A and B are shown apart, each in its own frame.
Chain A
Amino acid sequence: MTNSIPEIRDADFLFVTGSNTTEAHPIIAMEMKRAVGRGAKLAVADPRAIWLTEIADWHMQLKPGSDVWLLNAMAHVILEEGLESRDWIEANTENFDSVVETVKRYPPEEAEKVTGVPAETIRQVARAYATTPKAGIYYTLGITEHTTGTDNVYALSNLVLMTGHLGVRSAGMNPLRGQNNVQGANDAGATPVFYPGYQRAEDPAVRDKFSRAWGVEQNPNPGLNLNDMMKAMGDGRLRGLYLMGEDIVISEPNVERVEEALNHMEFVVVQDIFFNESCRWADVVLPAACFAEKDGVFTNSDRRVQRVRKGVEPPGQARADWQILAEVMRRSGLEQPDYQDPGEVYAELASLAPKFGGISYQRLDTEGGLQWPVETPDAPSTEFLHKGGVLRGKGLFQAVEYRPPFESADPEYPLVLSTGRTLYHYNAATQTRRSEGLSQKQPESFVEIHPGNAFKMGVEDGQLVDVVSRRGRVRCRAMVSRQVRRGSIWMPFHFPESKTNYLTTDAGDAVTGTGEYKVCAARIEPVLEDAPRQVFPGSYASARS
């Protein structure tokens, strides 16, 4: 995020796209509601009629995967009506002309045909966004989990750059992190591209620095990203696997292929708090402590480093992950400092990554959270990025052209399936489904289907159905709901006995490798064995059926 979460309440215009904020980030949604309560305008671009559309001034219910068309058309309107911020573009950006040329070919009237969003709505939203000084964009997986994920992000950032809605309180570009410490894991270098603090692994000077720091010559071969790893497991390049807190059998797309690849592994370590699905392939399973049982830091969506503190002892022999890792390293022969607590680990991290150089447990304990960059012990927390200009030199416009999703609906698979989260569960639901209360509220998987489609297929609300894609078949109950567009269906991915990711495609974005969880072709086959029953009484979706 370029802005901070508490800035949202003061925004005057919110453009929320590809984010079901009330369910995936409820607390950020509260800030959005607060802004709307104050009188801020809200535009939601989402194929589903999510809760936020209830209080939105505009709902752009686009067809899944047509984001680039929609966003380019908004840019088209802004430029056509001269609403761009010329001086700001001049001072802070490069490559503007390329976008001008490209978006000329994306008039709203044509966009209406591709996206299904009325041209007039596109115009109104584009105008409101461009002309409101405190206008923020909020997005998440609905933008990135596409084969065109990177393009989608570029198209959004083009809007930000042409309006100059950056480096100002409550105005900016805000991807909302889906997991507690995605930011922190990346910050810490758990990515093949970067060493800690976003120091590039491809840079020999960086590798030298870490070779010296750790006393081991760093491997110059480029590392594999997650999506590549899954493929390399399949083709025999990978033979050993260490999984820490990650259940790839649930969370990765095209699960069947993942399971097949795991069969070829020679050695698999799984370190987790529960016996997860991947443990079935493990040679060693290590019991870990959960967040309530250990110390450390999480870094949230707005770059805020905050403390995790131990409240209770882990069960049985379970140990904190950091203790286990330090011990594995020691036993592997790597010389290690004898870490007494995670504070010492953090100090090592901070000493090697200038962005966090000024952060210490001592400061975190007295100041609460600190938003990086904080380079020196006396540097303040950084509330929002790009103050007084773009962070790294000039903001680069990236013209993007529309490309259709990897799969489209066809006669055999006439529906477009998107997947996502619900409020009541979390990821593979290893934690939330062990809450009796949450399981009571949302006990099982479901597929949302528009009444129009349901009627044609003879599917009733609460009926058992099979959802079928080219990759697999999953059984769950139908929730007939106007939350989804006609022709679209939607499923949560939380339920292991109904693994949505048997259906999804592992076609990934060319840059990030992120799988296209948001679009795949599917069909629904009614299962005729039992009487339909209501899926979740009182849920927002059933209220709108």
Chain B
Amino acid sequence: MQPKGARREDVLHVLDQKGGLRPGVVDKVHRETGVPAADIYGVATFYHLLSDPDGGVRVCQGLSCKMAGCDRLMADLRSRDTKATYVSCLGRCDLAPALWDPDGEAVIPQPGLTASHDAMAIDLLGAERPAYGALAAVMERGSDWMVEELERSAITGRGGAGFPAHIKWKGVRSQAEMERYVVLNADEGEPGTFKDREILLRRPHLVIEGLAIAAFTLAANDIYVYVRGEFGRARESMETALAAARRRGDLDHLDGLRWHFVDGHGAYICGEETALLEALEGKRGMPRMKPPFPVEKGFRGKPTLIQNVETIACLPAIVDRGGDWFRSIGRREAGSKLYCISGHVRRPGVYEGPLGWTLRELLEAAGGMVGSLKAFSPGGASSGFLPASKIDVPLDFKSLQKEGSMLGSSGVVVLNQSADMVEAALSQAVFFEDESCGQCAPCRIGTQVLRQTLERYLTSRDVGVLAHLEPVMWGMGEASICGLGQAAHFPLQSAMQYFPEEFGVAAPP
């Protein structure tokens, strides 16, 4: 039980300040915050940037980095006596094999980007916007108007779930409770995805203006910006932009609006919105059961809007140019979309196009394949794999769902003929096992079963070891608490479905 006056929400920050989980730190944090020592230890061991403060350089072993030779990079680092640790995904798939030095984060070079244009909502290479005109417009027209416009735009959440944004907004507004929060989910970490990073680095003002619009519309007084710990540069960019906006007086009309920047500490799962809330509250980032949903009981048990960076960044354009305009950009579904592409591609990067682009179009924007297309993962690890034959499937929510896949975070990874699908599936299985929060049995144990089975198969090539996978995958999808566990078997399942010969079977299981 938390003692009266304990400062639970400060635990992660104070742990970080004191250098993470080193001898004596738990006790110091306990004395400073009043939180029970065991709770602090439990929290510290959950986040790998805290639990392994001496991990040194982090080497990404996400799918793109794996294919680009992260193992060679690691061997190289170690041969030079550089302390290095594998991590899941650093959000730098364009730089594969990527690394990150916590003691001196390198400047992130510009990836492949769509040339500046004004046909899309975000325009990563666009010029900095002047005064926050969209915010002013919303304040003038009122929050009802804003919600209507949002509904008209038909924008859906860009984080992966694709939930209509206006329903969340209405959900928060319908609560009697007036203590409300807006949370920016900038905990980007899905392998293959680095679009939010680019928005934060290049268009921070879109995000700040979008957040201000959301806070005004929902009558929230506090905005929490949760940026993944490995994106120090992105966070600096946001803070600089906020300071500039304040200096210019862009936010003057929003009295009492408080901005809070919170660092992630190395847990992919905190991209799940309720796990993120737990992290904000200073706890282990384990997803909550839903219902209740955050719009009703979110941060501190109060109504909370949580949106992805890209969703928020679209708001100024929606306000400036109208919801109808935004909706019309998309093909079958509304709006423009940032697509990431990495793997065996000539110009890995972030390309903005109408929602519903096909892989063929995206590859075109990115300079084409290196080698020939064998398979692709359309939307992060959770989306599994599709074969080359699906190159013309629109990359939108519904079309991909029909294919048994998902758009997810639209982090596309392309694999050429050199890829071994068993190894690709194993790479994704390792990711899910490492990033499972461990809360529910299907995911905690299931991810271990998948990884171990694939390893056994890789060494033995004995089809017999795969025998029990079907019920395990079924159960993980059916019984896991959150999306991570529910989707963790997709890579393997889809690989077995589309490339059965590599798993020693003739027909799909």
Do these two chains really belong together in a complex?
A: yes
Across-interface contacts of B4 in A (CB, < 8 A):
54-57
* Proximity bits, A7-48, B CB within 8 Å = 1, else 0: 000000000000000000000000001001100000000000
B1 at the interface (CB under 8 A from A): yes
Min CB distance A105 to B, Å, is: 33
| CB-CB contacts below 8 Å: A46-61 with B | 54-57
B3 at the interface (CB under 8 A from A): yes
Min CB distance B40 to A, Å, is: 14
| CB-CB contacts below 8 Å: B1-19 with A | 1, 3-4
Q: How far is the CA of A122 from the CA of B1 in the complex (A)?
A: 26
Q: How far is the CA of A435 from the CA of B4 in the complex (A)?
A: 34
Q: How far is the CA of A349 from the CA of B17 in the complex (A)?
A: 68
* Proximity bits, B1-45, A CB within 8 Å = 1, else 0: 101100000000000000000000000000000000000000000
Which A-chain residue is minimally distant from B6 (CB atoms)?
A54
Q: How far is the CA of A55 from the CA of B3 in the complex (A)?
A: 5
Min CB distance A52 to B, Å, is: 11
Which B-chain residue is minimally distant from A37 (CB atoms)?
B1
* Proximity bits, A281-307, B CB within 8 Å = 1, else 0: 000000000000000000000000000
In this complex, the interface size class of chain B, counting residues with CB under 8 Å from chain A, is: under 10
Q: How far is the CA of A55 from the CA of B4 in the complex (A)?
A: 5
Q: How far is the CA of A57 from the CA of B4 in the complex (A)?
A: 7
Min CB distance A184 to B, Å, is: 33
Across-interface contacts of A36 in B (CB, < 8 A):
1
Q: How far is the CA of A154 from the CA of B4 in the complex (A)?
A: 31
Q: How far is the CA of A37 from the CA of B2 in the complex (A)?
A: 9
Q: How far is the CA of A54 from the CA of B1 in the complex (A)?
A: 10
Which A-chain residue is minimally distant from B30 (CB atoms)?
A543
Across-interface contacts of B1 in A (CB, < 8 A):
33, 36-37, 55
Q: How far is the CA of A57 from the CA of B1 in the complex (A)?
A: 14
| CB-CB contacts below 8 Å: A306-348 with B | none
Which B-chain residue is minimally distant from A56 (CB atoms)?
B4
Min CB distance A362 to B, Å, is: 42
Q: How far is the CA of A57 from the CA of B3 in the complex (A)?
A: 10
Across-interface contacts of B3 in A (CB, < 8 A):
54-55
Q: How far is the CA of A56 from the CA of B4 in the complex (A)?
A: 7
Min CB distance B36 to A, Å, is: 10
Which A-chain residue is minimally distant from B3 (CB atoms)?
A54
Min CB distance A320 to B, Å, is: 42
Q: How far is the CA of A37 from the CA of B1 in the complex (A)?
A: 8
Across-interface contacts of A55 in B (CB, < 8 A):
1, 3-4
Which B-chain residue is minimally distant from A58 (CB atoms)?
B4
Across-interface contacts of A54 in B (CB, < 8 A):
3-4
Min CB distance A202 to B, Å, is: 49
| CB-CB contacts below 8 Å: B289-312 with A | none
Across-interface contacts of A33 in B (CB, < 8 A):
1
Min CB distance A54 to B, Å, is: 4
Across-interface contacts of A37 in B (CB, < 8 A):
1
Across-interface contacts of A57 in B (CB, < 8 A):
4
* Proximity bits, B126-137, A CB within 8 Å = 1, else 0: 000000000000
Min CB distance A254 to B, Å, is: 39
Min CB distance A80 to B, Å, is: 28
Q: How far is the CA of A36 from the CA of B1 in the complex (A)?
A: 10
Q: How far is the CA of A54 from the CA of B3 in the complex (A)?
A: 5
Q: How far is the CA of A54 from the CA of B4 in the complex (A)?
A: 6
Min CB distance A411 to B, Å, is: 37
| CB-CB contacts below 8 Å: A392-419 with B | none
Q: How far is the CA of A36 from the CA of B2 in the complex (A)?
A: 11
Q: How far is the CA of A396 from the CA of B4 in the complex (A)?
A: 37
Query: Could you say which of A33, A54, A56, A57 has the most chain B C-beta atoms within 10 Å of its C-beta?
Result: A54
Q: How far is the CA of A36 from the CA of B4 in the complex (A)?
A: 10
Which B-chain residue is minimally distant from A34 (CB atoms)?
B1
Min CB distance A13 to B, Å, is: 15
Which A-chain residue is minimally distant from B27 (CB atoms)?
A543
Which B-chain residue is minimally distant from A57 (CB atoms)?
B4
Q: How far is the CA of A56 from the CA of B3 in the complex (A)?
A: 8
Q: How far is the CA of A54 from the CA of B2 in the complex (A)?
A: 9
Q: How far is the CA of A55 from the CA of B1 in the complex (A)?
A: 8
Which B-chain residue is minimally distant from A42 (CB atoms)?
B4
* Proximity bits, B178-214, A CB within 8 Å = 1, else 0: 0000000000000000000000000000000000000
Which A-chain residue is minimally distant from B4 (CB atoms)?
A55
Q: How far is the CA of A56 from the CA of B1 in the complex (A)?
A: 12
Min CB distance B114 to A, Å, is: 53
Query: Could you say which of A33, A55, A56, A57 has the most chain B C-beta atoms within 10 Å of its C-beta?
Result: A55
* Proximity bits, A50-79, B CB within 8 Å = 1, else 0: 000011110000000000000000000000
Min CB distance B225 to A, Å, is: 31
Min CB distance A2 to B, Å, is: 27
Q: How far is the CA of A513 from the CA of B53 in the complex (A)?
A: 63
Min CB distance A442 to B, Å, is: 20
The 9 tightest CB contacts between A and B, nearest first, are: A54-B3, A55-B4, A55-B1, A55-B3, A33-B1, A37-B1, A56-B4, A57-B4, A54-B4
Residues of B within 8 A of A (CB): 1, 3-4
Q: A55-B3, A57-B4 are in contact. List 8 more A-B contacts (CB 8 A).
A: A33-B1, A36-B1, A37-B1, A54-B3, A54-B4, A55-B1, A55-B4, A56-B4
What are 10 pairs between A and B in contact, CB < 8 Å?
A33-B1, A36-B1, A37-B1, A54-B3, A54-B4, A55-B1, A55-B3, A55-B4, A56-B4, A57-B4
